[in-house]
Structure 1
Amino acid sequence: MTDTPLLKVRNVSKFYGSRIGCSNVAFDLWPGEVLAIVGESGSGKTTLLNCLSTRLMPTTGTVEYHTRDGSYRDLYRMSEAERRFLMRTDWGFVHQNPADGLRMTVSAGANVGERLMAIGDRHYGKIRETAGSWLERVEISTDRIDDQPRAFSGGMRQRLQIARNLVTAPRLVFMDEPTGGLDVSVQARLLDLVRGLVNDLGLSAIVVTHDLAVARLLSHRMMVMKDGMVIEQGLTDRVLDDPREPYTQLLVSSILQV
């Protein structure tokens, strides 16, 4: 990790009329760090993720991103085209439902290759070769490269979505309940895969999950949300092993019964 944050989040709030989506959230995210945002359904974690990834404009606050040229840019002051370019190249977004992050009517290879074309690759042979090597990396047989995602199982679709996101070597990946809706055995393999890729690539990631076991396995640091507010944050093991807030204690005792 360097001594320069990749993301500087300051006082981000999102209000829907009188209803709070998230309120006054502030933190730094460091290169190579995985941050888990946890909480029950309706706690505001997905609203916050959508604000951080510019899918949703906050009511107040700033998010500054440390770009590859070494300068900080306020994400909300970027043009729409600049933000789209960032999402296609430097960032990834892994949806809970892989169908939201894939083009279901084109081949697995084309799903991965599209991201490469977005950063200027034009050599068909090289694009196909890179797509094939990424399919292998996420444990999809290369003989499925011409199959469409709708022919894949849920776990395979999620692995394909991960390959599509990581092929451009992004610096930051957002994940929204990446193991939601998958069988327990499939979840375990997927989490193992994600943890290995994040470590190998030195990625920064922000992972939204209601599953504290996922947070423990993937993240270095954790933020607990309730009613749109961050009520506790710290190193993941510290928060889970010695929770300070009564709400966090309740979450831990109800979910981490082993």
Structure 2
Amino acid sequence: MNQATIENAHPLLEVRNLSHRFAGARPGVWAVQEASLQLYPGEVLAIVGESGSGKSSLLNCIAGRIACAPGQVHYRRGSDEQWVDVHALPERERRQLARSEWGFVEQHAAEGLRMNVSAGANVGERLMAAGERRYETLREQGRRWMEAVELDPERLDDSPRAFSGGMRQRLQIARNLVTHPRLVLMDEPTSGLDVSVQARLLDLIRQLVSRLQLSALIVTHDLGVARLLAQRTLVMRQGRIVEQGLTDRVLDDPQHPYTQLLVSSVVAP
């Protein structure tokens, strides 16, 4: 989806004044403070900043994994696009949303996979949670999605423990996409991988997002990832969003001193 189309659409996700403090934090120290953003259908939004800037905490707040007070996360749910406050939903409905319309790709793939079951079972488990019970369908979809993320479908019965780090990350992506979610949250999906593996994984993510018309929030410390994948980028520092806008504008003409420092640290010889 191009930017003009995005700007004329209704937001799929809207975050309003989200804040979070970790237990035991010093007074006045916030992991996330008064963060607001909008995400549109088919849009990729990158959240960048140094380690400890609050970007992963913001992602987990949005996902409902950690509590936030104050703040709201509104989402257009289902085919009728009912506007709901995610954090106000009953726990059962929030879990259902997380395993159907949303996906979450962990930084460390082992945290997003069940390492004691097969690759095919990892993909099929999410389908089963959505109500699918036919063994043949589970196998067929497992093979289809392994192929879609460029894994050998003949390894359907292999354990994820036998896969490399990049292969595990691809399997985790397949596990998330099998239910055709509308929104995927990704926390440093290429961190810790070899450069060549990162490049292939980023190309795969870009293709899948485009082909499936996914909306995505991607946390990354790598400005190159933001430039490659995201239409818009927001910059976090000490729990606050200090700058946001079109990715090329933010990275080529940064306005906030912190963003200027981030960009100059990448281009400096």
How high is the TM-score relative to the length of structure 1?
A: 0.98
Q: 2:74 aligns with which of 47, 64, 68?
A: 64
Q: 5+ unaligned residues in a row in structure 1: which ranges?
A: none
The CA deviation at 1:257 is 4.8
The CA deviation at 1:119 is 1.1
Q: CA–CA distance in 1 between the matches of 2:267 and 2:152?
A: 35
- CA deviations 1:159-191 (Å, max 9, x no partner) are 000000001000000000000110000000000
Q: CA–CA distance in 1 between the matches of 2:267 and 2:222?
A: 9
Change (3 A) 1:246 1:169: same
Question: Does structure 1 residue 202 correspond to structure 2 residue 208?
Answer: no
The CA deviation at 1:32 is 0.5
The aligned runs of 1:119-134 (5 Å cut-off) are 119-134=130-145
The CA deviation at 1:256 is 3.8
Residue in 2 aligned with 1:25? 35
Residue in 2 aligned with 1:228? 239
The aligned runs of 1:107-256 (5 Å cut-off) are 107-256=118-267
Residue in 2 aligned with 1:4? 10
Structure 2 counterpart of 1:176, one-letter code:
D
Residue in 2 aligned with 1:53? 63
Number of aligned residue pairs: give it.
Answer: 258
The CA deviation at 1:204 is 0.4
> 4+ runs of 1 displaced by more than 6 Å?
none
- CA deviations 1:202-240 (Å, max 9, x no partner) are 000000010000111111100000011111000001101
How high is the TM-score relative to the length of structure 2?
A: 0.94
Q: CA–CA distance in 2 between the matches of 1:86 and 1:38?
A: 26
% identity of equivalent residues:
61
Structure 2 counterpart of 1:170, one-letter code:
P
Structure 2 counterpart of 1:96, one-letter code:
Q
Q: CA RMSD in A?
A: 1.1
The aligned runs of 1:84-123 (5 Å cut-off) are 84-123=95-134
Question: Does structure 1 residue 80 correspond to structure 2 residue 83?
Answer: no
Q: CA–CA distance in 2 between the matches of 1:142 and 1:5?
A: 36
Q: CA–CA distance in 2 between the matches of 1:163 and 1:229?
A: 32
Q: 2:20 aligns with which of 14, 30, 33?
A: 14
